[in-house]
């Protein structure tokens, strides 16, 4: 195990010696209005995790308030002319949680479930993710509330260009750099880049990441998040003394992250016995043939109907299978107080953002289940987005081998830091990861100083 924690990741010297949970809460501004109890969903979870880190670090309530609220947020109207000529009004958001360590960085999602609080939570998690894996960004996130599957490609393009034009004042290669997320892809990033560039009168490749290769994208970016999930999953199996060849895994979600994570784990020798999408789940105790399943899903739009596996009762049934590893790679809050005690996997690797609630975390910790938190497990995407941004700024592109080697190095370094810190302070991997990230961001913010 690596024991080389760089100084920026450590707690302040006066706090290193005291057991984290024995430190008294500092006095300061009341946190009554900021408590997660007044909220629900992802933002409540994100603020609860922040509050835990603030307490472990011994920081005051003023720092909590500063980090619990976004630095800047914008809500915009996105009028859309449908293909039939009707006008529909959509709503979009862009939230910049913290920019103390560099420009905002975070995905853009298109979903009928997008809310401002969800975007706030995702932006906060992006801040911690960037700090944890040491990329010089703050956290940001965006979303437009609509289901792109119900709209034509031309309509999605019009939504993208209008949304981009509305948020142009707060984005840019040195301000805030969007990337793909749920419901968006490299074509959406190309439209965003073109819209932004047209407004300035010249091409600005660095305004988005996750673009097509022809427009300044990076080799290795489409699979980066999935590959990062696989790297830390394999590192955790090694830590637990398990061989990939004797391990079974179930993957919830067969989209951008889950599909690639399943493929990379299978290539490493792990037996992928179940996957699911929004329509249902398939299972094969002997292991699913992923190339055939991917072809079936691409042809039909779902994993259902795949002849190489039996259908489970529903997608949730996948969460409770008797497997060694569970990879929730779909949406937030799928593991909660109502179902955590039914999960039989001994290792959970969070491919999605926020799939585990704080209540479920407590249940897993009591049961001895190891949870690799989202801000570590799925950080591969933002790492390679950073690589893409660097390449665009230099107009010099790396080989896929260079990209993947650098990705593996950063993921393994972050894993070792978190693992060591959790062991040193007898806290969960999530608490350790959040503490390390919050301490890094707080140090940067306070070193810069509060503007009068």
Query: Over the stretch 59-83, which tens digit does the pLDDT of each residue have?
Result: 999 999 999 999 999 999 999 999 9
Residues listed for the chain: 452
Mean pLDDT score, 257-276? 96
* φ/ψ (deg, to 5) at 218: -110, 140
Mean of the per-residue pLDDT values of the chain: 90
> Residue 130 contacts by C-beta under 8 Å, 6 or more apart in sequence?
101, 102, 105, 136, 137, 138, 139, 382
Please check the confidence at residue 85 and state whether its pLDDT lies above 60. Answer: yes
**Strands (E) located in 270-342:** 271-277, 280-283, 310-311, 325-328
pLDDT value at residue 315: 83
Q: Kindly report, residue by residue over 154-172, the tens digit of the pLDDT.
A: 999 999 999 999 999 999 9
Please check the confidence at residue 34 and state whether its pLDDT lies above 80. Answer: no
* φ/ψ (deg, to 5) at 126: -65, -35
Confidence of residue 452 (pLDDT cuts 50, 70, 90): low
Strands 271-277, 248-252: pairing kind:
parallel
What is the Cα–Cα distance from 132 to 363, expressed in whole angstroms? 25
**Which domains, and CATH codes, for the chain?**
8-68+426-448 (no CATH), 72-215 (3.40.50.10860), 224-377 (3.40.50.720)
What is the token pair recorded at 199?
A: 């407004």
Per the annotation, the verdict on 141 as an active-site residue is yes
Mean pLDDT score, 199-223? 94
- Catalytic hit among 105, 141, 211, 271: 141
pLDDT value at residue 256: 87
- Indicate the pTM of the whole model: 0.87
Mean pLDDT score, 410-423? 96
Query: Considering just the CA atoms, what is the radius of gyration of the chain in Å?
Result: 21
What is the Cα–Cα distance from 380 to 110, expressed in whole angstroms? 21
Q: What percent of the chain has pLDDT above 90?
A: 85
Residue 79 near residue 125 (C-beta atoms within 8 A): no
In the numeric block, the tokens 């407004």 are attached to: 199
Q: Kindly report, residue by residue over 111-124, the tens digit of the pLDDT.
A: 999 999 999 999 99
pLDDT value at residue 451: 66
Confidence of residue 441 (pLDDT cuts 50, 70, 90): very high
Rounded alpha-carbon distances, angstroms, from residue 421 to 5, 16, 245, 272, 429: 9, 11, 29, 31, 8
* φ/ψ (deg, to 5) at 76: -130, 150
């Amino acid at each position: 195990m690596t024991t080389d924690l760089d100084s920026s990741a450590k707690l302040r010297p006066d706090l290193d010696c005291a057991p984290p949970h024995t430190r008294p809460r500092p006095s300061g501004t009341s946190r009554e209005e900021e408590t997660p109890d007044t909220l629900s969903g992802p933002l409540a979870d994100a603020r609860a995790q922040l509050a835990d880190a603030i307490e472990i670090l011994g920081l005051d309530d003023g720092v909590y308030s500063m980090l619990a609220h976004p630095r800047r947020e914008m809500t915009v109207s996105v009028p859309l002319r449908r293909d039939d000529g009707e006008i529909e009004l959509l709503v979009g958001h862009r939230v910049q949680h913290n920019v103390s360590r560099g420009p905002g960085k975070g995905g853009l999602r298109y979903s009928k479930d997008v809310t401002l609080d969800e975007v706030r939570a995702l932006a906060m998690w992006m801040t911690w993710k960037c700090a944890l894996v040491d990329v010089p960004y703050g956290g940001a996130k965006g979303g437009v509330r609509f289901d792109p599957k119900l709209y034509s490609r031309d309509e999605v393009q019009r939504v993208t260009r209008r949304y981009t034009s509305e948020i142009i004042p707060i984005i840019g290669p040195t301000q805030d750099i969007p990337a793909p997320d749920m419901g968006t892809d490299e074509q959406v990033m190309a439209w965003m880049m073109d819209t932004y560039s047209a407004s300035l009168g010249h091409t600005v490749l660095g305004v988005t990441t996750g673009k097509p290769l022809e427009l300044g994208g990076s080799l290795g970016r489409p699979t980066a998040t999935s590959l990062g999930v696989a790297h830390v999953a394999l590192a955790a199996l090694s830590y637990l003394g398990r061989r990939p060849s004797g391990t079974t895994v179930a993957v919830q979600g067969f989209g951008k992250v889950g599909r690639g994570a399943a493929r990379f784990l299978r290539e490493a020798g792990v037996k992928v016995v179940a996957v699911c999408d929004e329509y249902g789940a398939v299972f094969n105790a002997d292991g699913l043939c992923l190339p055939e399943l991917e072809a079936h899903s691409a042809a039909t739009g779902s994993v259902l109907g795949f002849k190489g596996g039996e259908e489970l009762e529903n997608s949730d049934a996948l969460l409770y299978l008797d497997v060694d590893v569970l990879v929730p790679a779909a949406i937030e809050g799928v593991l909660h107080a109502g179902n955590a005690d039914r999960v039989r996997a001994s290792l959970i690797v969070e491919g999605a953002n926020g799939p585990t609630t704080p209540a479920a975390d407590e249940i897993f910790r009591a049961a001895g289940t190891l949870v690799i938190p989202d801000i570590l497990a799925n950080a591969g995407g933002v790492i390679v987005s950073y690589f893409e941004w660097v390449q665009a700024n230099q107009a010099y592109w790396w080989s896929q081998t260079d990209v993947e080697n650098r990705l593996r190095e950063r993921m393994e370094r972050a894993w070792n830091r978190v693992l060591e810190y959790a062991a040193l302070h007898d806290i969960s991997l999530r608490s350790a990861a959040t503490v390390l990230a919050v301490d890094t961001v707080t140090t940067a913010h306070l070193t810069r100083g509060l503007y009068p």
